[in-house]
Structure 1
Amino acid sequence: MTLVRQKLLRVEIRFDCVAAGEVRLEYAATAAEARHFAAAMIRRGYRVLVDWQVRRGLAPLPCRSLWQYG
């Protein structure tokens, strides 16, 4: 079995929270995961930034199998 390492991107999601102000969450994701996740979140009115600023220890995108299609 051959493992293929995919380059990861940083996905930042910004939420406006009345009690806490702006909340930012950051995750690591493959390009396909980032693209599908960002599109779904933007359609729902959230602000999403995708870039190459991946840091060591950045958590993977939660429920990443939902965003791995096509």
Structure 2
Amino acid sequence: MAVEKKKPVCALCGQAVEIKGFDLKTETGKLSFCCAGCLSIYPLLNDNKTLTDSIQTKKKR
């Protein structure tokens, strides 16, 4: 029987996180997001819970 790993879910919309690199540090730990849109909206809705200069996005080559 194969064991399937659970994919992390987006902290904002609940979709599976398919692409790594959209992370945000908060007072309670690191959150992962499915896309840049969710990553950018989360701090607007939760201003007092995010740490300054903590948005980490996937770097372009």
TM, length-normalised to structure 1: 0.37
| Greater RCO, CA 8 A, separation 6+ | 1
TM, length-normalised to structure 2: 0.40
Say which structure is richer in strand: 1
